[in-house]
Each structure stands twice: as C-alpha cells, then as structure tokens.
Amino acid sequence: MNCPIGSEEQLELLHVYCAGERNTPETASLARHLEVCAACRELVAGQQAVWSVLDEWKPPEASADFDRRLFARIEQEVSLWNRLLAPFRPLWVRLTIPVAAAATVAIMVGLIVDHRPAQPPLGPVELAQPEQIEHALDDMQMLHDFNTATRADAANTKM
C-alpha cells in the first residue's frame, strides 16, 4: 500500500487502526506497511499517545437534578401554552366542543346501528281487513241466496 502519511484519504484507515481495529483487510495491509515504514510507525504511536492523553479528560457527571429541572421546564412550557391559549377560547367554543363531541358520538352510534346487517325478512303475513271480511260475508250471502234461488227454480220446473 502507499504510505498514508500526508494523505487525508488514508487518514480514516489510520484512525481505525489506532482505535484498535485489526481484523479488516485494509488494516491488515496497513499493519504490513507499518512493519517497513518507520515514519508511519511514529505517526501511529503519536496518534495513539494523543488519544490516550485525551482519554484522561473525564468530564464531570450531570447534576442529580438535571432530569427534574428539565421536566419542570417542559411542564412549565406546556402549562404556559395552555394559559396563553385560554383567552382565545371563548365560552361558546368551550361549550361547543363537548356538545359537538356528544353529537359526533350520537351520529356514530346512529351510523353503526344503521349499518347493522338487516334482519332476514319474515314470511308474508296477510292481515285481513274488516272491509275484506265484510265483502267475503256479502259474497257468501250472495252465493247462498243464489243457490237457494236456483234450487227453488229447479223445484218449480219439476213440478
């Protein structure tokens, strides 16, 4: 491989190698190069030394009440928004919302009921109306009268 010194393109590979990665073909190739290149060995050693020095810089831990303060700020912000928006919600809006919600629920219930599968139709039921009964009785009476008259005519004829 080409000597990576001065090549920003090879820098990533050098950093990967310094970070301890030795198992890729690229780092293996770099390792072979390091065996024959003193300048690169020096550079890698210098880089690793800088990193180990940087490792000694430990930042302090976060304050114990960091989360509490953050959640308090969030809560404050949420309630602030609610307070800011409150004057812009007139009474009729505040009343309208629950009424609209109730109406929506009622409409939804209505739609659900309306969309229930239709009950299978019952067999045809014929209900006799009073007029029909009257007509039937009249017809029967008329037939009876007709039969009586027919019989009487037949008897007269035989005689």
Choose between 9 and 131: whose C-beta lies nearer to another protein: 9
Choose between 79 and 132: whose C-beta lies nearer to another protein: 79
d(CA 114, CA 39): 86
Choose between 71 and 146: whose C-beta lies nearer to another protein: 71
d(CA 24, CA 30): 10
Residues within the interface to another protein (CB under 8 A): 8-9, 11-12, 15, 19, 46-47, 49-63, 66-67, 69-71, 73-75, 77-78
H-helix segments, the chain: 11-18, 25-36, 38-55, 66-85, 91-114, 130-158
Beta carbon of residue 31, minimum distance to another protein (angstroms, whole number)? 20
Choose between 35 and 56: whose C-beta lies nearer to another protein: 56
| Nearest-5° Cα angle at 11, 9 to 17 | 130
Beta carbon of residue 17, minimum distance to another protein (angstroms, whole number)? 13
